[in-house]
Copies of this chain bind each other. A is one copy, B any other.
């Protein structure tokens, strides 16, 4: 089976760590990012820096107009990014985003003959986002094996989620051990054009708490 892997790379700390892990596992990594109508392009700049650092085979940025569909604070500028935590599915949830991203990763994996897809979903997120839960990932993998030529021919596609049971602190410690400089990553939902983080949104709060819990200096450039 091919050692090619498709790695979803947003430019945030989780997907950067996943790329480091997939590389360390000996895969030839094909990084996949999306210009999907997100509020800022700083995370795509970050994705490009990280892809270069880990010398991926290819890095594709696919244009996909999820903003035309709307329904999320991350793609609709009329919905504010919340700066205090709330119950339930957050408004920063982008409808079916991981399903869409994994589907396109699956298409590319099929063309490459890659058996492995990597995605940086993790435990801290899946309380709020339905498409970060283990049950979703398992169902996607089952579907993927019925959807594809590889599946028909008895090979199988694996959806790898090495972070799914890790805390942010564990992610950070493992990433640092694998050589990631988290200053190159952007997690903030509303980073400015230079990639500076707001320090207030859920993504910033989780990231800051992760560095504290890991006992590591916070490698984030904040606006203030």
Residues of chain A having any CB pair with chain B under 8 Å:
60, 62-66, 68-71, 89, 93-100, 102-104, 106-108, 110-111, 130-131, 133, 135-136, 139-140, 142-144, 146-149, 151-152
In Å, the complex CA distance between A98 and B148 comes to 10
B103 engages A149 (CB within 8 Å):
no
A105 shortest CB reach to chain B, Å? 9
Select which of B62, B70, B98, B143 is within 8 A of A68 by beta carbon: B62
The 8 Å CB contact of A96, one of B65, B131, B147, B152, is B147
- Contact B143 A136, beta carbon cutoff 8 Å: yes
Q: Are B136 and A149 in contact (CB under 8 A)?
A: no
Task: Name the B residues within 8 Å of A133 (CB-CB).
Answer: 146
Complex CA distance for A8 and B103, rounded to whole angstroms: 16
Closest Cβ of chain B: how far from A56's Cβ, in Å? 16
Q: Is the CB of A149 within 8 A of B65?
A: no
- A60 closest partner in B (C-beta): B68
Query: Residue on B with the closest CB to A106?
Result: B96
